[in-house]
Amino acid sequence: MKSLTLLNALYPKSCNCSKPNLVFLKVKNRPSMARCSNCHKQVSITANTPFQGYQSNLAYISYIIWDMVNQYPKVMTSKEISRKLNLSYRTSYYLKKRIQIIFSQLNDKLRKELFEELKNTENTDQKPIAVADSVVLFSASLKANKYRSRRYKTGTASIYLSNNLQGRQVGCLVHTIGINHGMTFYKSIPLNNQHYLENDLNEKIPKNVTLYTDEGYTFLWDRPNHKMVNHSKKSKDPRYNLSRDRWVTREGVSNNGAESRNNILKQSFRSYGYISPRWSQLYLNELSFLSNLKFKPELRNLLSLGDDAFVLEVNRSDAQENLTNNVEKYLYRPLSLEERNQESKSSLINKINFEKFQRLSKGLKDAITVNNQFWNQNYIENHKRRKESKYNLVARKLWVLLELKKWTSLDDLVKISGYSRLEVLFILKKWLTVGLINMSKTNERYMDTYKIYKKTNDLFYLLYSETKTQVKANWNNFNKKIFKNKSYRSNRKYGS
Ligand SMILES: [Zn+2]
């Protein structure tokens, strides 16, 4: 009975008469039928829901859902269902799948509602704060993966087996997006690149909302309230605003929220032992939905108590599918090795809209064009590809350490970034040449003190390598472009 109430609240059925009043029948062989007391038409409650064609006892549905809701964050495995209901593993497995589809559909609905809500929070006192982060589950173990093929961020485990094993995806890379003191959504993605992270953000968080991430999101430029937290380094010096504490003081938040979400995720998934990437999105939806329920008390009451005062209709087009088609929608399709290579190939091409490009200085436009031409070649030698990827990574890490329209000393940048002075200067040389920064040099007690001024927020992919013949000319050019004015020296705010 409770199961039918529940299904009918989520997937309402009607007899299409003037005074519909569905009464559940207790027909022995057709337990899912209801009849209208007014027109006497019979309607199946499970038809066009994820439970269409379901053969087992209907009572199991609400019973298991109740358990799942109440034992969160502990997850309910198929094995546990089979033990609880004394069912075969196979039956329990499909019962869980059907419930996962319902949860996925409801969670999609919550996501869309939240998006609309967030769009209209301009004038409220308590501004919502979004956090995003990614985490690896079931990483390809070192043992299976002697030659790590890919790394995510620094030192993060890979989800792919090495290339000579066809680089099959075995682990899951999960993008977590949450609202502080609010809902959380997880997305299974194949690569931690701009394309996937940005698409997921655009689907969940409107652009005006304050968003906290770590330093891996330098590509975001059209989100005015995006803040990056520097995880790895700490600085007590408030001048450069480089420590993670800086976010905490102003708005009472940091992206710790994302980290604690990832911890719940990791812990919950430990119960499963292993999940193939193919099914990952369904399992993530289940967990995300269960955690989001606490922000939807009416829905929680419906699912746990069978409280039918509340009706939340699942999108009709979603509902009217059989199990196979529904599962299909939430399956994760891993990328083939070729596709992955293709994606990593194109990842360092700058994608800028025309008007924005036109507004850049000539030096920068030329550098961007040269970079894009390089990455558009049909064949690029591997060592060149690797070198440029590495330089661009170092560049992005340094870039976020510099504060916009402020002077930062080279010594501080070296100390905080962990890169050597020469490595840092190598990147700065390029930036100065193309006009992304200004630099000044002061000679003090036989020591050269450099300062860097970040002129713009946008860092583009650039080619950093230089041929032997270019090295000297480039340094000369660099030295020419450095300010050596004395006035700056007297304006210094901070002694060293
Ligand atoms: Zn009727």
Structure tokens belonging to residue 310 = 């509340």
Kindly indicate whether the domain formed by 348-491 is annotated with CATH number 1.10.10.
yes
Q: Report how far ligand 1's centroid is from the alpha carbon of 43 (Å).
A: 9
- How far apart are alpha carbons 184 and 261 in whole angstroms? 8
Q: Report the pLDDT value the prediction gives residue 2, as an integer from 0 to 100.
A: 84
Q: Report how far ligand 1's centroid is from the alpha carbon of 11 (Å).
A: 17
Q: Report the pLDDT value the prediction gives residue 139, as an integer from 0 to 100.
A: 76
Q: Report how far ligand 1's centroid is from the alpha carbon of 45 (Å).
A: 14
Q: Report the pLDDT value the prediction gives residue 145, as an integer from 0 to 100.
A: 45
Angle between helices 277-292 and 323-330 (to 10 degrees): 90
Residues 164 and 147: beta-carbon distance below 8 Å: yes
Percent of the chain with pLDDT over 70: 81
Q: Report how far ligand 1's centroid is from the alpha carbon of 24 (Å).
A: 13
Q: Report how far ligand 1's centroid is from the alpha carbon of 33 (Å).
A: 13
Q: How many C-beta neighbours within 10 Å does residue 263 have?
A: 12
Q: Report how far ligand 1's centroid is from the alpha carbon of 16 (Å).
A: 6
Across the strands, what pairs with 212? 131, 227
Structure tokens belonging to residue 127 = 């501004």
Q: Report how far ligand 1's centroid is from the alpha carbon of 6 (Å).
A: 20
Which of helix, strand or coil describes residue 494? coil
Beta strands 33-36; 22-24: pairing state: antiparallel
Q: Report how far ligand 1's centroid is from the alpha carbon of 278 (Å).
A: 43
Q: Report how far ligand 1's centroid is from the alpha carbon of 41 (Å).
A: 6
- How far apart are alpha carbons 454 and 399 in whole angstroms? 8
Q: Within the chain, which residue ranges are assigned CATH 1.10.10?
A: 348-491
Q: Residue 360 carries which DSSP code?
A: S
Q: Report how far ligand 1's centroid is from the alpha carbon of 14 (Å).
A: 7
Tens digits of per-residue pLDDT, 362-382?
999 999 999 988 988 878 887
Q: Report how far ligand 1's centroid is from the alpha carbon of 50 (Å).
A: 24
- How far apart are alpha carbons 179 and 257 in whole angstroms? 8
Q: Report how far ligand 1's centroid is from the alpha carbon of 15 (Å).
A: 5
Q: Report how far ligand 1's centroid is from the alpha carbon of 18 (Å).
A: 7
Q: Report how far ligand 1's centroid is from the alpha carbon of 42 (Å).
A: 9
Q: Report how far ligand 1's centroid is from the alpha carbon of 2 (Å).
A: 21
Q: Report how far ligand 1's centroid is from the alpha carbon of 35 (Å).
A: 8
How far CA 458 is from CA of 78, 215, 461, in Å, comes to 48, 14, 10
408's enclosing H/E stretch is: strand 407-409
Print burial letters for 86-103: b (CB count within 10 Å at least 16), e (below 16).
ebeeebbbbbbbbbbbbb
Q: Report the pLDDT value the prediction gives residue 419, as an integer from 0 to 100.
A: 86
Q: Report how far ligand 1's centroid is from the alpha carbon of 39 (Å).
A: 4
pTM of this structure:
0.69
The ranges of the chain with pLDDT < 50 are 142-143, 145-156, 232-253, 487-491, 495-496
Q: Report how far ligand 1's centroid is from the alpha carbon of 317 (Å).
A: 23
Q: Report how far ligand 1's centroid is from the alpha carbon of 51 (Å).
A: 23
Q: Report the pLDDT value the prediction gives residue 240, as an integer from 0 to 100.
A: 33
